[in-house]
Chain A
Amino acid sequence: NAGVTQTPKFQVLKTGQSMTLQCAQDMNHNSMYWYRQDPGMGLRLIYYSASEGTTDKGEVPNGYNVSRLNKREFSLRLESAAPSQTSVYFCASSGHFAEAFFGQGTRLTVV
């Protein structure tokens, strides 16, 4: 039972490069989320998707785009990476009731 799987686990980008973080869940959850975690800031919501075909902005969406490809997959794209986007990125999913599960994170460094 894989739960929530994120790829890659680590990435180093140069300023201005683009990349896509992938996330997939196998729990048949409707809702999926992307968070970033920075020291002293906790987790902040970037984007979320309530269901397949819908996406909405969270607290810190600037510089990011998302795609809910199907019920399983929710990707996060950085079109032109900036040093301020150096962070740990977490994908999560939740069902109708309670439990919300997280992936293991992607550690991104932008130089």
Chain B
Amino acid sequence: GEDVEQSLFLSVREGDSSVINCTYTDSSSTYLYWYKQEPGAGLQLLTYIFSNMDMKQDQRLTVLLNKKDKHLSLRIADTQTGDSAIYFCAERRPGAGSYQLTFGKGTKLSVIP
């Protein structure tokens, strides 16, 4: 099937904003997610957005959704060194009585002090 696409790497300076982009595949996906993975750890749910929303803000995180282009972005304001991690975009596709999460390959965010 089609892949969820993300850039593999992003480097920003501490205090700047980070924008991580994602293109998902299925226009019928109902929920879209951003997960954070720190080295050696599991996936931590950061935020999610329902498909009938354009934007969701949660403290330093802003999610923008463009359904027409199937484009999702995560903006992290005032990026800190603790934000260094891999960020995964995921879509929740309907199918077979359940909802499957399909992930991008992840964007590695490096924050330069």
Contacts and interface: CB of A to CB of B under 8 A. Distances in A.
Interface string A75-88: 00000000000000
Q: Range of interface residues on chain A?
A: 20 to 34
Contacts of B98: 30-31, 48-51, 56
Interface string B86-113: 0010101000111111111110000000
A103 B44 CA distance: 9
Interface in A19-46: 30-31, 33, 35, 40-43, 45
B9 interface: no
A98 B31 contact: yes
A50 B97 contact: yes
Q: Range of interface residues on chain B?
A: 20 to 34
B42 A45 contact: no
Contact of B102 (A31, A45, A90, A101): A45
B5 to A, nearest CB: 11
A66 interface: no
Contacts of B24: none
Interface of B: 1, 4, 31, 33, 35, 41-45, 48, 50, 88, 90, 92, 96-106
Given A42-B106, A102-B35, 17 more contacts: A30-B98, A33-B100, A33-B101, A43-B103, A50-B97, A56-B96, A56-B98, A90-B42, A90-B43, A92-B43, A92-B101, A94-B92, A98-B31, A99-B45, A102-B42, A102-B43, A102-B45
Interface of A: 30-31, 33, 35, 40-43, 45, 48-51, 54, 56, 58-59, 90, 92, 94, 98-105
